[in-house]
């Protein structure tokens, strides 16, 4: 009986063991299937808050973004992303805001080397008596390379991932941008009188077209453009010429428009119309045009801009510093004009800090109009990101954390006690955070800055090169005195 009982017990044990083995095998199959179902991606970037600026789910708490081949493939909660994607690299988002990088809609990058050389002057005095002569004396390819690299370093460190540049030797700027890893619309300047490297309009126009033809469609992060300087330095005939060429080549235009009262008067006296009406007459409003400043548009001009392909770039610091005026941004936003933010060049700012422009844009128009509700935090942040991208013709590429767009994003640390307590993340970004809080900068899926250190620029070497240029200029100025 005992042996029989032992046999029964043994059979039961074997049966139980087989069931357990089958269960283990089944569970193993299940786990394996789940792993196989997970999609492999290059990077997953986390954020305590993910500010998407996509207009749908603007803020995701405990969120993440999955990136493959430089593009955003998924945005959601961290649980959703990690359950569906396996990444080669995972970037922690502990106490960080993950958001789109800034779009600097208007600057002259290499002018950082003129930082502080001509301050506290009226715009036309500053430009004609100081900047133009200094450019003629000092600007050459070597100057441009050092200045552009310094500008790229400054923008990467401050969380700018895309910018629109208008300066001499654009082919040199393009090579620097390629090396540093940023995204840029690089526009070749054209002007009616002698400028660095050119005798006048004909050769500057020819060189600009050659630059565009050489770079168009050749680089995923660089968009070439044509840049007639302004309607007071380029004739109507030449504006017609450059607009026709931009349409032929299907490239953007970058130009200074309605920047100050002196320009408005010059255009009115010469043509009997406004600067915006001049743009319309030459056909520029039918081309993707980055219009810098737009400080003095009439009400009719604003309506015309709203139905055009023109993006207006607000440069509050530069416009205040040169006393050019205050652009009617609330009216332009209400009318539906595409509006972005820019720093202008560091010779009139004196930095490339988009956080300053962001905060000033939110505050300036409240005080100027006596209305604390205009340009709220979200509207200001939109101008610096997705709105800015749309204004410069990159709306399908960057500006928001949206599936299909390129992975251009930054992480902002919330560790500083300055950023405590936090109730509204967008408000905190606009009114309290700054460039010093940016810890990670990513463009096209590539990390350009990690833990506050720029990875694509050798800071020590750059510092030496900047110092050498500054020493040379100081020595030259001392001799000329």
Reported as a single tens digit per residue, the pLDDT across 315-356 is 999 999 999 999 999 999 999 999 999 999 999 999 999 999
The Cα 177–Cα 187 span in angstroms is: 13
Per-residue pLDDT reduced to its tens digit, 87-131 = 999 999 999 999 999 999 999 999 999 999 889 988 889 888 999
Indicate left, alpha or beta for 177 from its phi (over 0: left) and psi (-120 to 50: alpha). alpha
36 band by pLDDT with thresholds 50, 70 and 90? low
- pLDDT for res 271: 97
User: Cα(156)–Cα(145) distance, rounded to whole angstroms?
Assistant: 16
Nearest-angstrom CA–CA distance, 428 and 361? 15
Q: Whole-prediction pTM value?
A: 0.91
The residues that bridge with 74 in the sheet, in sequence order, are 66
pLDDT for 3 equals 39
Summary mean pLDDT of the chain: 92
Pair of tokens at residue 390: 């749309």
Mean predicted confidence (pLDDT) in 32-41: 67
**Residue pair 326/299 in contact by the 8 Å Cβ criterion:** no
pLDDT digits (tens, 9 = 90+) for 201-242: 999 999 999 999 999 999 999 999 999 999 999 999 999 999
- Specify the pLDDT at position 10: 38
Other Cβ atoms closer than 10 A to 117: 17
pLDDT over threshold 80, residue 26: no
Domains identified in the chain and CATH numbers = 28-99+401-450 (2.30.40.10), 102-398 (3.20.20.140)
Task: Give 32's contacts (C-beta < 8 A, 6+ positions apart).
Answer: none
């Amino acid at each position: 009986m005992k042996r029989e009982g032992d046999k029964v017990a043994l059979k039961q044990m074997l049966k139980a063991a087989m069931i357990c083995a089958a269960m283990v095998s089944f569970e193993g199959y299940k786990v394996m299937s789940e792993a196989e179902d997970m999609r492999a991606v290059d990077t997953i970037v986390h954020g305590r808050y993910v500010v998407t600026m996509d207009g749908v789910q603007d803020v995701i708490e405990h969120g993440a973004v999955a990136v493959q081949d430089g593009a955003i493939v998924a945005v959601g909660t961290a649980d959703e992303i990690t359950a569906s994607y396996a990444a080669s690299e995972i970037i922690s988002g502990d106490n960080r805001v993950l958001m789109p990088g800034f779009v600097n809609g208007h600057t002259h990058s290499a002018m950082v080397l003129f930082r502080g050389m001509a301050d506290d002057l009226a715009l036309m005095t500053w430009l004609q008596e100081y900047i133009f002569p200094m450019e003629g004396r000092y600007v050459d390819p070597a100057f441009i390379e050092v200045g552009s690299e310094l500008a790229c370093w400054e923008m990467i460190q401050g969380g700018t991932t895309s910018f629109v540049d208008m300066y001499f030797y654009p082919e040199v700027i393009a090579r620097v941008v390629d090396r540093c890893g940023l995204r840029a619309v690089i526009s070749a300047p054209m002007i009616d009188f002698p400028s660095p490297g050119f005798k006048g309009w004909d050769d500057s126009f020819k060189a600009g077209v050659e630059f565009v033809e050489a770079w168009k469609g050749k680089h995923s992060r660089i968009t070439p453009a044509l840049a007639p300087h302004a309607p007071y330095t380029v004739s109507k005939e030449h504006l017609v010429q450059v607009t026709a060429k931009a349409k032929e080549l299907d490239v953007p235009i970058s130009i200074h428009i309605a920047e100050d009262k002196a320009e408005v008067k010059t255009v009115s006296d010469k043509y009997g119309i406004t600067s915006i009406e001049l743009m319309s007459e030459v056909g520029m409003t039918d081309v993707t045009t980055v219009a810098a400043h737009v400080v003095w548009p009439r009400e009719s001009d604003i309506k015309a801009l709203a139905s055009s392909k023109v993006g207006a770039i607000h440069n509050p610091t530069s416009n205040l510093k040169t006393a050019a005026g205050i652009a009617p941004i609330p009216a332009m936003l209400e009318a539906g004009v595409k509006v972005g933010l820019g720093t202008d060049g560091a010779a009139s700012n004196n930095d490339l800090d988009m956080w300053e422009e962001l905060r000033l844009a939110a505050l300036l128009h409240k005080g100027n109009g006596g209305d604390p509700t205009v340009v709220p935090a979200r509207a200001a942040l939109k101008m610096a990101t997705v709105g800015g991208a749309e204004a410069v013709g990159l709306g399908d590429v960057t500006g928001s954390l949206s599936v299909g767009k390129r992975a251009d994003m930054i992480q902002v640390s919330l560790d500083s006690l300055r950023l405590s307590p936090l109730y509204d993340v967008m408000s905190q970004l606009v009114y309290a955070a700054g460039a010093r809080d940016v810890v990670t900068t990513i463009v096209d899926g590539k990390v350009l800055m990690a833990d506050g250190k720029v990875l694509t620029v050798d800071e020590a070497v750059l510092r030496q090169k900047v110092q050498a240029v500054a020493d040379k200029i100081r020595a030259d100025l001392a001799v000329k005195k």
